[in-house]
Structure 1
Amino acid sequence: MIRAGYRLVTDLPEPMRPWRDRPVAWGNVSPTTGTYRVDADGVYLYHPGGGAEGYDHPVGQAQYGLGCLASYRTETDQARRALFLARARAQADRLIGRRLEARGAWWFPYAFDFAHAVHSGVDYSAPWYSGMAQGEVLSLFVQLAQIDGMSTADRDRYLAAADAAFASLQALDDGFPWAVNVDEAGHLWIQEYPGAAPGTGDHTYNGMIFAMFGVWDYHAATGSSAAAALYDACATTIAAHLPRLRNVRWHSFYCGTHRVPAPTYHQHHVNLLRQIHWQTGSPDFADAADRLVDDYPSPAVSGTVAFEAGDHTLYRFDTAASGAWVSGKDDAELGRQTVKFSRDTSAPASMRRRIQGRGIYCRISGGPYAGWWVGESWSAAYLRGVHLPTVYRPGRRVTFPGGGVPVAAFRIADDGTEISAKTVSYDAPSNAPADQRAIVNGRAMYRIAAGGLTGYWVAASAVTADSQPAVG
């Protein structure tokens, strides 16, 4: 299998570690209706269509348990903390109790039949198995073993379970169940949906990356060289397939096999690539996340649109009532008008998003032009403020051009107010570390983290970000 030499960074700050960004809300600690509910033992069960019968769902149970641990770490009420921990342990104990032991590993079965509504060939009769589940269950076992106050016996039990779950990710597609294969190009895959034929699968991106988080957790806890090698191989695969993941200027693809755009997964891909960047320290994945942000930025952004004096074209589009893109709506233009402002002005905006086949537009939400969209174009019309930040850890090195080319730098408040500005130029190309990239007053910009420009933003179009982490 191919490994590019990605190394694991294990000294991450707590908020950057796997699953800390997906806490379970207190109101969902005991769901009793809907698709997912807890039973009398606190086990999270899947109820298809909201029906009465519940089924074991390893990914659902692992994610619910990990979310409960995320909440346990930050909850201050002791009774709530105890319940969050009890819920997490209930999922782990259920998974241990229902495991299948095969080929020297533990496997966690799905207890219901499943056919993917969109992807042909993803069709299973119970019991079936998923590499995504194997990796996420591994995370749950490891993170439980790391909880302060856990008895030695329970810690050892969860670590032994983690060893057995990790063994499943070491077993290639030479038996059943299987979840890991190496493709013809030498790339290793953890298959969320392993195919019936050995070595075949859907090549689903989010499922593989979530499973990688379990490998990261296992290596961080045990120092396992086998886990480090496996993670390196997985990261190498993701990096090599980034061009197939990306769908330029639109939603990224859900998997490498069917390559169907995935509106509901695009922002997951952005977030997951950022986390691989933190876990490896490699700018490859930070840059990939930035490209996806530019292709289809999260529309959950609102604020104030600034208009320069002059003529502006406003549009109406065939979108959902919320303005978000949904299947069946093609963003067709329904109307346009030209308006003229005699001075600089502004209007409230409820959304900023890409319109299919076009650029980035902001939806005006108040005043005489409510419901109309304006194309974002710095500095004619743009959403004020600092939006959609990508945090770099480590920082990325950006290079200013030489030859005396001037580059403007700005210190900007969160609401977009310009605090100060300066222009710099250098005879030879000059490097500086950047700790963030964000959309700042309608432009992609890097925030400089050291030197005379510390805290200043520079337009991404004015500098280049190289392929190595920043030094210092």
Structure 2
Amino acid sequence: MGRQGSVETTVPAGLPFTFGTHGFRCVLDVPDAMRPWRDRVAPREDAGTHDRDGVRMFRWNGGLHDHPVGQIQYGLENLAAYRRTGDAFFLDRARAQAGRVVERRHERRGAWFFPYPFDFTHAVHTGISYEAPWYSGMAQGEALSLFAQLAQLPAVPAAARERYRRAADGAFRSLLAGNGEQPWVVARDGAGHLWIHEYPIDPPGTSDHTYNGFMFAALGLWDYYALTRSPPAADLFDGSLTTLTANFRALRNPRWLSHYCRTHAIPTKSYHPVHVTLLRQLSWLSGSELLAVQSDLLMDDYPPPSLGPEGGPVHLAEGAHTLLRFDDGGAVTATRTLELARPARATASHRIRIEGQDVHYLLADGPGAGWYVAERYPAAYLRGEWCASDHRPARRARFRAGVSVVCRRGSDERTVTYPRDTPVHYDRRALVDGRMMLRATDGDAKGWWVPGSQLLAG
């Protein structure tokens, strides 16, 4: 990749170490809404702890501390609010977070590191125990996003934009220090894959290999490349996504929650949706169908359980339905049969994967209120569109020869017959009236939903 539009930088033109790559690209032709940190928007007033300068603070062991990731993420959330509202209040608050992170930096070997000023021992993951100051690759990568976004924002004065550019360069140099000298946040594993470690542990091969922090750092590499067109940033982005795809089997826990890190392989309910979202966003930023497929697999393994405050409408066909109750481990504790003489409707509060079981609806009203019923189309299914994921670029698929496809759009249906194998693209995937459907973008089915089961991979 070239350096078109870049400004002079003191960042080295090449990388001081090697790692596995697969050809993932930094795709810059991405709508603003799909770029990093656009979906997490800070409220004007929030319940977080701040100091008198409006900087987000962290309570730990009876003290109030700076927390680089907390401050950086809060800054990015305020930038998202500024983009959405145009209110300078949010921009000022974002810059206050950036200013604190810059002010407290440690400069080592020409790189900027952002210290955690408190001792920390992880309550669950063995081996993660630090004495202050310590450093995290998650903070280093997210700082790239904050500084690079501020450096490109026209509302920021030119002199300040140049300072943010220098701050981004300083943060980026910390990701070039992969030779084990202290401090460090980047290392290679035994397979030669690059890791940006949320929790670096010496020696480097013993680190936690935390997935979400690594993916957040990869977003920062994309933001930094968007600012600088830096070839080393593109290479690190490629290496990061190569590592993620190579370790997807370790991240995934089929038909259940994904793992927080490679080392401990502990399923995590709070971070599973983060993994889904980050993989999808990285697919947009790289144009990779593979990352999109992996995001969808995680979504299907454990879909978002809540159906919102009003729940979701469930269709129950006439006939017998088995209703169940489960304990916390997924074991069945009670069953009963619901006989319906005619189709009925109920409201589900949750659509949830039970551990070791299929996806079930927790019925909130109707004859099965308080019981679970398995999702079974057409016997029991959720009406409407749920669990949607957008794809950019549109993904490739094809209709097999001789198939007749029933397409849906709202309440309309039509059948399209394909006498020969026919390529098609789709830009959205969702559960629509109980079936996984794909929205076609070309051909006779353009604009219509077609059942995913009737399409073959591109």
Would the TM-score normalized by the shorter structure come out above 0.5? Answer: yes
The equivalences for 1:149-164 within 5 A come to 149-164=155-170
Question: Residues 418-451 of structure 1, C-alpha deviation per residue, up to 9 Å, x if partnerless?
Answer: 322314232x321100011111111211111112
**1:429 corresponds to which residue?**
421
**1:64 aligns to 2:74 (yes or no):** yes
CA contact (8 A) 2:149 2:223 kept: yes
Question: Residues 44-67 of structure 1, C-alpha deviation per residue, up to 9 Å, x if partnerless?
Answer: 110126x4x311111001000000
Query: Which of 417, 437, 448 is equivalent to 1:456?
Result: 448
CA contact (8 A) 1:409 1:424 kept: no
**1:360 aligns to 2:359 (yes or no):** yes
Quick one: distance in 2 between partners of 1:405 and 1:96?
60
**1:181 aligns to 2:187 (yes or no):** yes
User: Aligned-pair distance for 1:331?
Assistant: 2.8
Gaps of 5+ in 1: 319-328, 467-472
CA contact (8 A) 1:398 1:433 kept: yes
User: Aligned-pair distance for 1:199?
Assistant: 4.1
Question: Residues 377-421 of structure 1, C-alpha deviation per residue, up to 9 Å, x if partnerless?
Answer: 11111111110111000000111112x13332222x3xxxx3223
**2:128 corresponds to which residue?**
122
**2:6 corresponds to which residue?**
none
**1:465 aligns to 2:457 (yes or no):** yes
**1:440 aligns to 2:432 (yes or no):** yes
**1:247 corresponds to which residue?**
253
SS of residue paired to 1:361: strand
Quick one: distance in 1 between partners of 2:452 and 2:252?
20
Query: Which of 40, 43, 50 is equivalent to 1:25?
Result: 43
User: Aligned-pair distance for 1:296?
Assistant: 0.4
**1:406 corresponds to which residue?**
404
**1:317 aligns to 2:326 (yes or no):** yes
CA contact (8 A) 1:248 1:295 kept: yes
**1:304 corresponds to which residue?**
313
User: Aligned-pair distance for 1:125?
Assistant: 0.9
Determine which structure has greater relative contact order: mean sequence separation of CA pairs < 8 Å that are 6+ residues apart, divided by chain length: 2
SS of residue paired to 2:64: coil
**1:48 corresponds to which residue?**
60
Gaps of 5+ in 2: 1-18
Question: Residues 162-213 of structure 1, C-alpha deviation per residue, up to 9 Å, x if partnerless?
Answer: 0010010111042011000111211100000100223431111100000011
Q: Which moved more, 1:148-157 or 1:245-254?
A: 148-157
SS of residue paired to 2:439: strand
**1:419 corresponds to which residue?**
412
**1:9 aligns to 2:27 (yes or no):** yes
**1:226 aligns to 2:238 (yes or no):** no
Aligned residues: 437
SS of residue paired to 2:204: coil
Quick one: distance in 1 between partners of 2:330 and 2:339?
25
Question: Residues 316-361 of structure 1, C-alpha deviation per residue, up to 9 Å, x if partnerless?
Answer: 223xxxxxxxxxx213322111111111221111110111111010
Quick one: distance in 1 between partners of 2:124 and 2:416?
52
Question: Residues 200-247 of structure 1, C-alpha deviation per residue, up to 9 Å, x if partnerless?
Answer: 311111000000111100001111111111100101100111111100
Query: Which of 47, 50, 56 is equivalent to 1:38?
Result: 50
TM-aligned CA distance change 1:331 to 1:27, over 3 Å: farther
Quick one: distance in 2 between partners of 1:183 and 1:385?
45
Q: Which moved more, 1:437-446 or 1:371-380?
A: 437-446
**2:109 corresponds to which residue?**
103
Q: Which runs of 4+ in 1 moved over 6 A?
A: none
CA contact (8 A) 1:6 1:280 kept: yes
CA contact (8 A) 1:173 1:198 kept: no
CA contact (8 A) 2:25 2:238 kept: yes
Quick one: distance in 1 between partners of 2:354 and 2:365?
20
CA contact (8 A) 2:115 2:133 kept: yes
Aligned residue identity for 1:62 = I
User: Aligned-pair distance for 1:462?
Assistant: 1.7
Aligned residue identity for 1:265 = Y
CA contact (8 A) 1:310 1:342 kept: yes
User: Aligned-pair distance for 1:115?
Assistant: 1.0
SS of residue paired to 2:206: coil
Quick one: distance in 2 between partners of 1:172 and 1:120?
24
CA contact (8 A) 2:416 2:445 kept: no
User: Aligned-pair distance for 1:368?
Assistant: 3.1
CA contact (8 A) 1:136 1:213 kept: yes
**1:324 corresponds to which residue?**
none
**1:469 corresponds to which residue?**
none
User: Aligned-pair distance for 1:26?
Assistant: 1.6
Q: Which moved more, 1:281-290 or 1:360-369?
A: 360-369
Identity of aligned pairs, percent? Answer: 49
TM-aligned CA distance change 1:420 to 1:406, over 3 Å: closer
Aligned residue identity for 2:351 = R
SS of residue paired to 2:176: coil
Instruction: Please report the TM-score for the alignment, with normalisation by the length of structure 2.
Output: 0.93
